[in-house]
């Protein structure tokens, strides 16, 4: 088995493209060894609306990664986002023999196949299937039904689907940029994989990723996805509000938001909002920043709460709310979130104790890291399954292979 196994992941964000290279050891531990970032171009609402411009932006992002790590990338995994995504609940049942008997793996596989047979729009593809619960003879809440005696097995699952057209467009953009599309994951699920711990998912938690022009959210309970969604507002709208209110450029407003932004007026000296209308060029103060930013930030959170809709389940999220994304960085974000949701809230941007994370600049790297962690887990699991068969292990199946320059990984790519 190779001692140097590498994974490349690229996050197609609404304002920036970010890519990381990670090294995976035999136990599946991940170390970040390189990163790159490039301004988003030709990309809107999760789709490449300008193939040439978008593919050039992808190429610039990954080529910068190649130069910084002296490697030659052949392909990478990436995220799927946008308003084309749909989430639905599906349920399927299978009979267990002519009479009660222990449930087998084959029964479980059959019900999993049936739950995917839900009628969805013809132009959509199922991207994610997460079991919510199993039911055996009307006994609910079963985590693992294998071995349990019963006469009927039922599965409830949360499905996420995406537009086949958009998925093909993304694949085409990646291929046009000169790289291989090696798998995808739903954006917010990748971020959750990088940021949320299993105990939080078991206790119940909501992750809110406030991006540039959209905010994605997902709710976990009992260890599984319960719901997810998106609202079409994000950090860029905070910037526009500042630019309009202070009569400054968007670049100046972005700097003010990042360096001095405050979204909770109670944290600073209050300033009457009339100043915004009475003065031609209002002077920037913490109070004025908060007066402009708080209403929009509160609106984003309120729309997420409304989009989820299940107030009963929301109140039972014992781990509260985790905020991430560039739009959540202004001071007071967690406190305002607690006021809106009446739940404990915190901000989080990187997994704890991730090797190499200290090299990353400020930004939203959670999605790219989550993609890498997921690919690493898949690769190690596949390698363990393949080892007894003598099939060459991870080298033949890992989804992100690339040849090294000075790091001497050419043999690895040659065998892929």
Per-residue pLDDT of the chain (416 residues; tens, 9 = 90+): 343 588 999 999 988 999 999 998 877 788 999 999 999 999 999 999 999 999 999 999 999 999 999 998 999 999 999 999 999 999 999 999 788 999 999 999 999 999 998 888 889 999 999 999 999 999 998 989 999 999 999 999 999 999 999 999 999 999 999 999 999 999 999 999 999 999 999 999 999 999 999 999 999 999 999 999 999 999 999 999 999 999 999 999 999 999 999 999 999 998 887 777 777 788 889 999 999 999 999 999 999 999 999 899 999 999 999 999 999 999 999 999 999 999 999 999 998 878 888 889 888 899 999 999 988 887 666 555 554 444 433 333 333 443 334 333 332 222 23
DSSP per-residue string spanning 306-349: HHH--HHHHHT-TT-EEEESGGG-SBTHHHHHHHHHSS-EEE--
Confidence (pLDDT) at 377: 80
In angstroms, rounded to a whole number, what is the distance separating the alpha carbons of residues 231 and 210? 9
SS3 assignment, position 395:
helix
Q: Which domains does the chain show, CATH number per domain?
A: 5-82+165-195+352-415 (3.30.420.40), 86-163 (3.30.1490.110), 199-347 (3.30.420.40)
Within 8 A by CB and 6+ apart from 165, the residues are 123
In angstroms, rounded to a whole number, what is the distance separating the alpha carbons of residues 116 and 118? 5
In angstroms, rounded to a whole number, what is the distance separating the alpha carbons of residues 354 and 32? 8
CB 41 within 8 A of CB 56: yes
Tell me the two tokens of residue 291: 């007066």
CB 134 within 8 A of CB 167: no
DSSP state of 355: B
SS3 assignment, position 397:
coil
pTM value?
0.87
Confidence (pLDDT) at 353: 79
Q: Tokens 């989430």 belong to which residue?
A: 87
* Helix (DSSP H) and strand (DSSP E) numbers for the chain: 13, 20
CB 16 within 8 A of CB 10: no
In angstroms, rounded to a whole number, what is the distance separating the alpha carbons of residues 141 and 118? 22
Tell me the two tokens of residue 345: 């809230």
Q: What backbone phi and psi angles, to 5 degrees, belong to 189?
A: -70, -35
Dihedral sign (CA 162, 163, 165, 170) = negative
Closest CA to 325 of 226, 236, 224, 256: 236
Query: How many other C-beta atoms can be found within 10 angstroms of the C-beta atom of residue 203?
Result: 17
Beta bridge partners of 231: 215
Which strand ranges, in their side-by-side order, compose the sheet holding 16-24? Answer: 30-39, 16-24, 5-12, 75-80, 180-186
Confidence (pLDDT) at 382: 57
What is the H or E stretch that residue 257 is in?
Answer: helix 250-260
In angstroms, rounded to a whole number, what is the distance separating the alpha carbons of residues 30 and 158? 28
Tell me the two tokens of residue 338: 């607690």
Within 8 A by CB and 6+ apart from 396, the residues are 386, 415, 416
Query: How many other C-beta atoms can be found within 10 angstroms of the C-beta atom of residue 99?
Result: 7
């Amino acid at each position: 088995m190779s001692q140097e196994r590498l994974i490349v992941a690229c996050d197609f964000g609404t304002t920036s493209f970010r890519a990381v290279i990670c090294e995976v050891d035999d136990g599946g531990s991940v170390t970040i060894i390189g990163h790159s970032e490039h301004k988003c171009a030709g990309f809107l609402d999760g789709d490449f609306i300008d193939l040439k411009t978008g593919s050039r932006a992808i190429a610039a992002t990954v080529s910068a990664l190649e130069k910084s790590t002296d490697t030659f990338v052949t392909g990478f995994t990436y995220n799927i986002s946008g308003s084309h995504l749909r989430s639905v609940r599906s349920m399927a049942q299978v009979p267990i023999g002519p009479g009660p008997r222990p449930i087998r793996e084959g029964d479980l596989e059959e019900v999993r196949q049936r739950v995917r047979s839900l009628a969805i729009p013809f132009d959509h593809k199922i991207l994610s299937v997460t079991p919510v619960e199993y039911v055996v003879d009307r006994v609910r809440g079963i985590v693992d039904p294998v071995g349990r005696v019963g006469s009927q097995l039922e599965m409830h699952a949360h499905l996420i689907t995406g537009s086949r057209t958009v998925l093909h467009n993304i694949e085409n953009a990646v291929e046009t940029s000169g790289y291989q599309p090696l798998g995808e994951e739903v954006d917010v699920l990748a971020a959750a994989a990088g940021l949320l711990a299993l105990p939080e998912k078991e206790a119940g938690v909501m992750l809110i990723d406030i991006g540039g022009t959209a905010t994605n959210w997902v709710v976990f309970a009992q260890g599984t996805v319960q719901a997810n969604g998106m609202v079409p507002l994000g950090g860029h709208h905070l910037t526009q509000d500042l630019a309009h209110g202070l009569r400054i450029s968007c670049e100046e407003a972005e700097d003010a938001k990042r360096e001095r932004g405050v979204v909770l007026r109670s944290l600073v000296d209050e300033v009457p909002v009339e100043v915004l209308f009475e003065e031609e060029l209002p002077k920037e103060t913490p109070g004025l920043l908060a007066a402009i930013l708080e209403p929009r930030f509160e609106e984003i959170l309120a729309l997420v709460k409304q989009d989820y809709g299940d107030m009963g389940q929301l109140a039972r999220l014992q781990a509260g709310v985790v905020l991430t994304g560039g739009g959540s960085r202004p001071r007071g974000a967690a406190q305002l979130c607690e006021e809106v949701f009446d739940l404990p809230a915190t901000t989080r941007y990187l997994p704890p104790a991730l090797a190499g994370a200290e090299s990353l600049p400020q930004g939203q790297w959670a999605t790219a890291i989550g993609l890498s962690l997921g690919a690493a887990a898949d690769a190690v699991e596949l390698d363990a399954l393949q080892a007894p068969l003598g099939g060459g292990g991870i080298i033949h199946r890992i989804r992100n292979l690339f040849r090294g320059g000075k790091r001497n990984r050419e043999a690895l790519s040659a065998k892929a």
